[in-house]
Amino acid sequence: MKIHNTDFDQLKIIEFGFFRDERGLLLKPWISSDLKDLFGSNAETYITSSEEGTIRGLHFQKGNSSQKKYVSCLEGTILDISVDLRRESATYGRVFTRTLQAMDGFGVLIPEGFAHGIFAFRKSTVISFSNNSYSPAEEGGILWSSIDELSDLPVRVISDKDKNLPSLDKVLSCK
Q: Tens of pLDDT along 17-65?
A: 777 889 887 777 777 777 778 888 889 999 999 999 999 999 999 999 9
* Cβ–Cβ under 8 Å, residues 145 and 81: no
Identify the bridge partners of residue 57 per DSSP, sorted by sequence position.
Answer: 117
* Beta-carbon contacts of residue 117 (< 8 Å; ≥ 6 apart): 55, 56, 57, 58, 59, 81, 144
- Check whether the bond before 58 is cis (ω within 30° of 0): yes
**Per-residue pLDDT at 175 exceeds 70:** no
pTM of structure? 0.92
Q: What angle do CA 93, 96, 102 make, to 5 degrees?
A: 150
Distance from chain centroid for Cα 57: 9
| Residue range of the domain that includes 78 | 2-174
Work out how many domains the chain is built from and give that number: 1
| Residue 110 DSSP class | E
Indicate which CATH number applies to the domain containing 167. 2.60.120.10
Q: Tens of pLDDT along 98-131?
A: 999 998 889 999 999 999 999 999 999 999 999 9
